[in-house]
Each structure stands twice: as C-alpha cells, then as structure tokens.
C-alpha cells in the first residue's frame, strides 16, 4: 500500500494493543524496518536510556551490548528483554569484539567519562559511526587528543551534548540565532538548580580525578549552549564554587569526595558577549533557566520538575520585544512518550540527528570542536575556583602546551 498524508505516530504503531493485526493489515500502524544496527558500549543508566531511545526512534535497532560490570549487563538485559521480547541481543566478551562486529553500523559510547579517550581509540579503529556521550573527556589534554583524532576520522563522530534538543533550547536557538528576534546579543545567563549527583558504579562521579569536576562533568551541557548562543570563543573565565552541602561526609574505599555542589561562573567572549552560569545541586527539584538579552528584546526559557501536585506548565518561553515588535509567550513541549524516555525528549532528537548525520544530512548536532570548547570552559572554571583568579583562555591552553586549537 502506498502511504498517504494521514497522521501517523510511532507511539500508536508500537502500542501492544494493536499487535493482533497482521503486517498486511497495517497501514496507519505500519512501521518501517530499522535501517541500522548499533552497539552500546557501557550499559549503565545512560546506556540503557540510549537502548530505549534507539528502539523507540525506530530507524535503528540495538544489536549488542558490552560492559565490564556484570551487574550492568544483567540489568540492561532484563530491561531490554522485558520491553522488547523476542528480539535478540548480543553480549560481547571484549571491547574489541563489540566495536568490530561487521553486522553493526554504529557505536554509542556511554562508559564512565574518564575512560572515553581509551575506549574511543579502540572504537575508531572500526571506522564505524560513533555517538560519544558527554563530556567527551574529563581533562583538557584528553579533549585535545580527541579533537586531533577526529580531524582524520571519515565516519560520524557526534558528541552527546543533547541539551540543544530540549524543547526550551530549540525554541531559544530558533528565536535568538535563526529569527534573530532579540537583535544583537550582549548577555547570556543559564541557571541549573537540581538534586545531587546520582549514584554510579564505583561512585566515580564523586571525585574530581574521575569526573573532571562538577563544572566539566555536569555543566558541559550548559557551557555548550552558552558557547552556541555567543557564537564566539571564550576569552576569560572567572568562577566561585564550593562543596556547601552534598557529600561532605561521603567516603568511598577510604577516599573523601571532593566535588563542587554549587558555583557561579562568569565568561567573557572574544566578541564582547558577557555570560554567566549559576549552579545549585542541593535543591529539591530540577529547574533550568535560559535568559538572553539583545538590543531588540529579551528571551527567558525555563523547564521545571518540582514533584508537587499543583498543576503548572513544565516549560515556559517568553520573548519580550517592547513596543516595536510582537512579543510572545509559549509552552514548548514534545509528545509525552518522547519526553518520558529521557532528558525531556532531548535524547530522542539527538538520535534522530545521529541517523541524519549517518545519512549525510545537515544537522546542528555538537561537533567534536564544540565538545572541546565545552570542556575548555568547564576546566577553566574549575581552575578559577581552585586559584581564585581569572583564567585567560589563551594562557590556559598554552599552559597545557596547546597552541594550534583554532
């Protein structure tokens, strides 16, 4: 049957209540067969999210998994076979086998951040398309090495900075950069207030030596967005931060946690844009806010999850343009089943764009260079907190023996 223009939804097409239909009877509910096969490298919390999203998005299928932690394998398999009964899942004995299986088109790397470079070196030998979770590295030198490796890589190497695809971010990017509703941008401000870092295998995210520090591990998403809105390279970074509440008494295998739980970061860009980032990780909710001020208007975008019964919109975007142009207020969102799959739907659209990149289509997914600069801002902010001084980016990179970074 030839498809018409009727409304179609993958949500309905995959709903079990319609499984009584034979394929020959499916028209609105017909699902195209997946074109690609992916392997998941590291199947903890984020790995399982990528497994679900791959299957939900539908253009690819999860072929296999690899993880050095046996419990992660057990839980990931339980989740997969519960949600997708009857579908085979290959379990690999080595990283090399997982990366080089000829049946597989792409690799999604979700291992602990400090392992990314070494895992990526093995993965790149396969020549396969790669989606590398954020942050792409935990140190400036590792990030720079990945930047150099990527220059000669012929397949897709996409960095998992998926906050670009949150509904509020998409609308903010559209208004500020595409429609240029605000005119020339002068100021960018982002805020994140949230609960503490969640538990991880071996609790690696509680220690700077493994995570790169909170401003690298968690906040690279926001520095990527700020860099994107600024459309320029950072010139100076100044930050204040401390361990105010979280993990002050936490020890793991005799070692005390040393990560920040709060910070304020100020960034000056080469084009004169001023930006700041405010972080609190001992708040009883998840709250994100973007404010962009330009010569012709101001944008404010928020996302909130406060677990309260009072009904209120989860998202809010307002573009205020005074008397000269129309202002607008909106509540951007994705379908509920997409938003509930992870990161407010951002991971779903990250996957759609990963597929588009593989097909050679133009997207605005984060490049390796953009991933590199998100690490630079985060690492410079951590350095500023430690020294109490303004970090000048050119000098900071030279101190790491990095000169040819443009």
pLDDT in tens, 10-29: 777 777 788 788 888 888 88
Label residue 346 by pLDDT band (50, 70, 90): very high
pLDDT in tens, 251-273: 999 999 999 999 999 999 999 99
Q: Is the pLDDT confidence value at 1 over 70?
A: no
Q: Which residues of 197-230 are buried (b: 16+ CB within 10 A; e: fewer)?
A: beebeebbbbbbebbbbbbbbbbbbbbbbbbbbb
- The structure tokens listed for 230 are 């600024």
- The H or E element that residue 133 is part of is strand 129-133
Label residue 60 by pLDDT band (50, 70, 90): very high
Q: Is the pLDDT confidence value at 39 over 70?
A: yes
The stretch 33-42 carries a mean pLDDT of: 97
**Domain map of the chain by residue range?**
10-163, 166-342+366-399
Spatial CA neighbour of 39 closest among 87, 97, 83, 85: 97
For the chain, what is the mean pLDDT?
A: 95
What pLDDT shows up at residue 6?
83
End-to-end CA distance of the chain: 52
What pLDDT shows up at residue 369?
98
- The structure tokens listed for 189 are 């401000």
- Class of the CATH-defined domain 166-342+366-399: alpha beta
- Model's pTM, two decimal places? 0.95
DSSP 360: T
- The structure tokens listed for 308 are 């309260």
What dotted CATH number matches 10-163? Answer: 3.40.50.720
The stretch 182-195 carries a mean pLDDT of: 98
Q: Is the pLDDT confidence value at 325 over 70?
A: yes
- C-alpha 252/C-alpha 60 separation (Å) is 39
């Amino acid at each position: 049957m030839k498809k018409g223009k009727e409304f179609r939804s993958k949500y309905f097409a995959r709903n079990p209540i319609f499984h009584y239909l034979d394929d020959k009877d499916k028209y609105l509910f017909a699902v195209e067969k997946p074109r690609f096969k992916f392997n998941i490298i590291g199947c903890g919390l984020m790995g399982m999210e990528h497994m679900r999203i791959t299957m939900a998005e539908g253009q690819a299928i999860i072929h296999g998994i690899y993880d050095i932690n046996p419990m992660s394998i057990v839980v990931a398999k339980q989740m997969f076979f519960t949600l997708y009964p009857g579908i085979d899942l290959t379990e690999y004995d080595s990283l090399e086998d997982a990366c080089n299986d000829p049946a597989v088109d792409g690799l999604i790397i979700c291992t602990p951040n400090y392992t990314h470079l070494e895992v990526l070196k093995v993965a790149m030998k396969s020549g396969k398309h790669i989606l590398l979770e954020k942050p792409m590295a935990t140190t400036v030198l590792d990030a720079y090495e990945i930047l150099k490796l990527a220059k000669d890589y012929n397949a897709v190497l996409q960095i998992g900075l998926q906050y670009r695809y949150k509904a509020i971010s998409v609308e903010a990017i559209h208004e500020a950069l595409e429609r240029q509703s605000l005119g020339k941008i002068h100021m960018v401000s982002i805020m994140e207030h949230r609960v503490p870092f969640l538990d991880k295998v071996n609790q690696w995210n509680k220690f700077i030596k493994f995570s790169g520090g909170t401003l690298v591990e968690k906040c690279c998403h926001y520095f990527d967005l700020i860099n994107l809105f600024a459309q320029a390279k950072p010139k100076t970074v100044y930050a204040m931060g401390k361990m105010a509440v979280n993990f002050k008494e936490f020890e793991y295998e005799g070692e005390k946690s040393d990560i920040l739980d709060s910070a304020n970061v100020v960034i000056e860009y080469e084009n004169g844009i001023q930006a700041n980032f405010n972080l609190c990780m001992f708040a009883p909710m998840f709250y994100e806010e973007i404010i962009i001020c330009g010569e012709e208007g101001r944008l404010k975008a928020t996302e909130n999850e406060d677990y309260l019964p009072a009904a209120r919109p989860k998202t809010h975007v307002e573009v205020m343009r005074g008397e000269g142009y129309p202002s607008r207020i909106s509540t951007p969102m994705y379908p509920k089943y997409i938003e509930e799959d992870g990161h407010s739907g951002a991971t779903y659209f990250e996957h759609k764009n990963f597929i588009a990149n593989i097909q050679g289509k133009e997207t605005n997914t984060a490049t390796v260079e953009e991933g590199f600069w998100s690490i630079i801002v985060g690492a410079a902010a951590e350095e500023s907190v430690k020294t109490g001084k303004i970090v000048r980016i050119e000098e900071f990179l030279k101190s790491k023996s990095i000169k040819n970074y443009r």
